[in-house]
Amino acid sequence: MTTQWSAEAAARVIAEHSGVRGPLLPVLHALQEEFGYVDPAAVPLVAKALNLSRADVHGVLTFYSDFRTTPPGRRRVGVCRGEACQSVGGRSLAEHATSSLGIPMGGTTPDGGVSLDQVFCLGLCSVAPAVLVDGRGVGRVDAATFDGLVSS
């Protein structure tokens, strides 16, 4: 369960992590861990606390695809896009995922039910193609298995 975003809670998280060496990435990761995403309203708070420009913080936040700037869906699904998965149907699985959910990679269904992301190598190469569903790796996934995973 994540905390509801607020400037006060964000300031607390930032303060707790701003003392580490090279604090920007640890602070952003901590914010995402706390809230499930990094609210764009946190950018000026982080910039001020770390004596950086807003552009610097925004640049790092938007450069790394692991950071979300919108709340994630209740179910988080990642389709592996690594080479082993691609060689045994991962590409068609990814196409099925985006088509069946009606959202692009990195998107969330309008009802907030599912967020779909691409991930690169889950270490499940021997059971490819694989997906990550709410932090749990699942191998040998085809279209029907995928549909069952996201609907359960």
Q: What integer pLDDT is reported at residue 93 of this predicted model?
A: 98
Averaged pLDDT of the chain: 95
Q: What integer pLDDT is reported at residue 66 of this predicted model?
A: 86
Whole-prediction pTM: 0.82
Q: Which of 80, 146, 82, 151 is nearest to 118 (CA)?
A: 80
Class of domain 75-151: alpha beta
Q: What integer pLDDT is reported at residue 152 of this predicted model?
A: 77
**86-122: pLDDT as tens digits:** 999 999 999 999 999 999 999 999 999 999 999 999 9
- Please say if the pLDDT value at position 76 is more than 80: yes
Sorting pLDDT into bands at 50, 70 and 90, what band is 33?
Answer: very high
- Please say if the pLDDT value at position 41 is more than 70: yes
Beta strands in 1-149 (DSSP E): 75-80, 114-119, 131-133, 136-138
CA 4, CA 13: separation in Å to the nearest integer?
13
**42-72: pLDDT as tens digits:** 999 999 999 999 999 999 999 998 899 999 9
Q: Where do you find CATH 3.40.30.10 in the chain?
A: 75-151
CA 93, CA 113: separation in Å to the nearest integer?
19
